Amino acid sequence: MEICAHEGCNCDVSETYVEQDGKRYCSEECAKGQSCGHGGCSCGGDAE
């Protein structure tokens, strides 16, 4: 399992990801540092 490049972000980016500057993030919003608290990060999943 490959983990999101944001420190502290635990979401799996091995299947669905956005690549930016050679690093993989959960989603486009996550790559921009939005919609994700980066703690128990679940960005790219359903927002609840």
pLDDT of residue 48: 39
pLDDT of residue 37: 61
Q: Could you read off the pLDDT of 23-39 as tens digits, one per residue?
A: 998 888 788 877 666 55
Q: 46 pLDDT exceeds 50?
A: no
Q: Which two tokens stand for residue 44?
A: 């790219």
Residue located via tokens 């299947």 = 15
Q: Could you read off the pLDDT of 1-13 as tens digits, one per residue?
A: 888 888 777 788 8
Question: Could you give the 3-state DSSP secondary structure of residue 6?
Answer: coil
Question: Could you give the 3-state DSSP secondary structure of residue 30?
Answer: helix
Question: Could you give the 3-state DSSP secondary structure of residue 29?
Answer: helix
Rounded to a whole number of angstroms, the distance between the first and last alpha carbons of the chain is 24
Instruction: Tell me the pTM.
Output: 0.68
Q: 47 pLDDT exceeds 60?
A: no
